[in-house]
Amino acid sequence: MPSDRLSNHPHWANYRALADYLGPRVVGWERSAKITPAFASTQRWLFGFDKQGLNWEALARQPFLAGYPPDVQSDIAAQWESANFAYCALDLEPAPTLKFYLEFPVLVATQMGGVTQWGAPVLWCRGYKVDGHRLRHSQTDYHLLPGRSVDEALQFMPQRHAANALMHQLADFLAQRAWSTRPAIDILQVLHDSRSQGLDFRLYGQGLTLSDWLGEVIQKAAVPQGWLHQRQVVADLQRVWGAAELGHVSMGSMTGASRT
């Protein structure tokens, strides 16, 4: 839960009101942190909800979503019936950002003659992000890379990408646990308005804690120079959330940001 100061934030009030409106449809809450060379934030929340049988027009009248630009509302409405699940998220720092995600059913693999045939990269999730003043918005697509190992997924990143050092550090970390050469985790290619690119590793059920990976980040000299002033932030995260189990680790942007 947020601090007392942020508990009174109007966007937080609308966010909680939306969760209350959805009631038992809400499936789990998550916290996350975003760390970049410029800033770090832990004031980030997300919940998923069962959308089956739910009318988008009625949902869109809720204050948290009512201010979404008309073209964003129209796009969500057009995709609504195709999606099988939805998520709603709120970032309060460094500036409020309202997020809404649709998750789609995908074909991961088929069995032919006892051989697994992995599917092609496919759109798994689409995110609609609106700044707190409803003046700017963006779209982020998450494409599932079925059957790819961590090493293979790295090929989907630009070679000179600023986040590559951290990406390869993460690959080495997973390889030590024998996950780099088999598809034990879902890997997503992240495309933000076709301008930036990254990878997202879904680590649910792997038993990894935040401390497992952050300990490596703090200790490795491979952390890019621009990130060194964030080491105290990372250390604080390890102290406060170290025992929390990892759900996603996401990295990459035009500026080499890391999203976790």
Query: DSSP per residue over 178-222, as a string?
Result: T-TTS--SEEEEEEETTTEEEEEEE-TTS--BHHHHHHHHHH-TT
pLDDT at residue 140 in the model = 93
Residue with the bigger pLDDT between 100 and 5: it is 100
pLDDT at residue 216 in the model = 67
Residue 108 has pLDDT above 60, yes or no: yes
Which of 17-21, 54-58, 60-64, 217-221 shows the lowest mean pLDDT across its residues?
Answer: 217-221
What DSSP element (H or E) covers 164? Answer: helix 164-175
pLDDT-derived band at 97 (thresholds 50, 70, 90) equals very high
pLDDT at residue 196 in the model = 67
CA nearest neighbour of 134 among 87, 73, 194, 192: 73
pLDDT at residue 58 in the model = 96
pLDDT at residue 135 in the model = 73
Rounded to whole angstroms, how far apart are CA atoms 187 and 140? Answer: 15
**What's the DSSP call for residue 246?**
P
Phi, psi angles (nearest 5°) of residue 249:
-125, 120
Phi, psi angles (nearest 5°) of residue 174:
-70, -35
CA nearest neighbour of 214 among 196, 191, 238, 194: 238
Q: Cis bond leading into 105, ω under 30°?
A: no
What DSSP element (H or E) covers 91? Answer: strand 85-91
Strands (E), 93-195: 97-103, 109-112, 115-118, 122-131, 137-144, 186-192
pLDDT at residue 160 in the model = 55
Structure tokens at 22: 């959805």
Average pLDDT value for residue range 170-192: 70
Average pLDDT, the chain: 81
pLDDT at residue 195 in the model = 65
pTM: 0.86
- Residue 175, CB half-sphere, CA atoms under 13 Å: how many? 12
Side chain identity, residue 124? W
Residue 106 has pLDDT above 70, yes or no: yes
Phi, psi angles (nearest 5°) of residue 144:
-70, 135
Three-class SS of residue 248? Answer: strand
Side chain identity, residue 199? L
